[in-house]
Chain A
Amino acid sequence: MVENDRWGMLLSHLVLILGVGLVVFPVYVAVIASTHPPGTFVRGVMPLLPGPNALENYRTAIFDGRSVAGTPPIGGMLWNSFVMAMAITIGKLSISILSAFAIVYFRFPFRIFFFWVIFLTLMLPVEVRIVPTFEVVANLGMLNSFAGLSIPLIASATATFLFRQFFMTVPEELMEAARVDGAGPMKFFRDILLPLSITNIAALFVIMFIYGWNQYLWPLLITTDPEFYTIVMGIQRMVTGGDSEPLWHLVMATVVLAALPPVLVILFMQRLFVKGLTETEK
């Protein structure tokens, strides 16, 4: 602050409180809506104060689902989302840390070529090659399976780049010392490089988990069996499934449950999240 200007500060607080209000409002409305009985949404305007039906709505959404809302029970979809997100996260982290290790600590023919192959993944997001990718997965018999949900998404150039950058800053002496002591490459990787990378791994873990959890187009394409629906895509089925108005109280209970895990991850790991975000995306 340069000037001591009380009114300016007051104005800033006002703008920020308004801004926070705007940012929080949609979710507030969702939480409120999920506590009302179905009758509330038949007429009039949506409620802005909590209703009496919270427990019942969440119970119906989690355990019943299908019969009333046109989707499987949310419990199963939450589990599917969790498995998919974890598989994508762990898969991405392990294959990119290995390839970064190979690229930094070895010299071998076609090294640059492989680097470019990995780099290309950045330029080919799923959204631009929807149909042929679907065909490949279908031909491999991976529709309606967790392998199909996760493996095609685990190639990650950004994670490889981040690990590469980090490995380049690891002192040369560490590796030389390890070699003098007779450690092979895998022993060096496991006992020295991996422990040093823990913070980076954790930061990436947060980002990748959110990425995996929020996948939408991909599960939509390759799951036709409700057994494998994930929660984020399941919501769409609830909203546009029938001809009638959606069952808002159940939809909103589902929305709250679907958004909760990644939001909690951000709130509790904000420092790691910011680190992961600013370092992977630059």
Chain B
Amino acid sequence: MQTKRTTFSNWWLPYALLAPQVLVTLIFFIWPAAQALWQSLFRQGDAFGIRPPTFVWLENFAALFRDTLYLNSLKVTLIFSVGTTVLGMSAALLFAMMVNRMIRSRDTYTTFLVWPYAVAPAIAGVLWWFIFNPSIGILPYVMEGVGYDWNHRSSSRDAMILVVVAAAWKQVSYNFLFFLAGLQSIPQSLIEAAAIDGASRRKRFLTIILPLLSPVTFFLLVVNIVYAMFDTFGVIHATTEGGPAQATNILVYKVFRDGFVNLNTGSSAAQSVILMAIVIVLTVIQFRYIERRVNY
């Protein structure tokens, strides 16, 4: 990694400059992560200190993968992440394509589409929870008109739809900005040349625009999965609280429940370690891809 060609020479100053950030990182990031790793290898003792914690190797992990609740949570997380990502990205791509065709109204539309980024996930959850409220919400009222009996308090499917819509709604802005930037960097001459050769709008989209958007799309894919898996805690906690019957109990929410409500330290730590592994894999994918993009 480079520095400037000429550098200052001072034997203590750089350490002093780095100290605040490194200390915060060590105390509040690395140390707890190491603790989680360590705790994940123990079965917790009882509350009275009669039975001390025992070292159980990977038993906590093995137990997790035998636990139907955990396996269910994995499945729920998968459905939730895929749903949120697909919904959030496809709506954003559609909007970005349309806005990109506008000239005078471009900025106005952008302003209107961008601000939900500022809304906290928990608030997004509460907003949609209100709209979908079975007794007074507007959408259940409309759906009743077409013969669908909406109730996210009893129906697993309805609850999942609710949290996916709330989580995707907030993320549309972010995806939209990146898609719009991606579309604007596609040379107009390519599209004009294809049009002169007689390619239809649909064909131009499939053979020129979509392939040229693939770096942005891939980047957004990773970012959205990370968002859906880790940043949506508020959406779940403020609305369904994982229910009904575990239907929206995503991994992050389960770690929190098991650690703070059920006080099962060993299992919660093992779940943390699995989540860390997932984040590390996703971060590595993201950065490898960025390296590549920078190089060409």
Contact = CB atoms under 8 A, between A and B. Distances in A.
Q: Do A and B bind each other?
A: yes
Interface of A: 1-3, 8-9, 12-13, 15-16, 19-20, 23-27, 29-30, 33, 41, 43-46, 48, 94-96, 98-99, 101-108, 111-112, 114-115, 117-118, 120-125, 127-137, 140, 151-152, 154-155, 160, 168, 172, 175-176, 179, 184-186, 188, 210, 213-214, 216-217, 220-221, 232-233, 235-236, 239-240, 245, 248, 251-252, 255, 258-259, 262-263, 265-267, 270, 273-274, 277-278, 281-282
B126 A251 contact: yes
Given A98-B17, A184-B8, A266-B117, 20 more contacts: A2-B195, A12-B98, A12-B102, A103-B14, A106-B8, A107-B3, A117-B25, A118-B22, A124-B30, A125-B230, A127-B255, A129-B272, A132-B36, A136-B32, A140-B27, A151-B28, A155-B24, A185-B10, A251-B130, A278-B177
Interface string B27-39: 1111111011001
Contact of B122 (A121, A122, A236, A265): A236
B21 A99 contact: yes
Contact of A26 (B102, B128, B283): B128
A123 B283 contact: yes
Contacts of A1: 101
Given A15-B98, A99-B21, A232-B120, A129 B36 contact: yes
B191 A267 contact: no
Contact of B120 (A27, A99, A140, A216): A216
B82 interface: no
Contacts of A2: 191-192, 195
29 contacts: A2-B195, A15-B95, A23-B113, A23-B169, A23-B172, A27-B127, A29-B138, A45-B137, A45-B138, A96-B21, A98-B17, A101-B17, A102-B13, A103-B14, A104-B4, A106-B7, A106-B13, A120-B30, A122-B283, A125-B279, A127-B230, A136-B27, A136-B35, A155-B29, A176-B6, A214-B121, A216-B122, A217-B234, A240-B238
A172 B127 contact: no
B114 A266 contact: yes
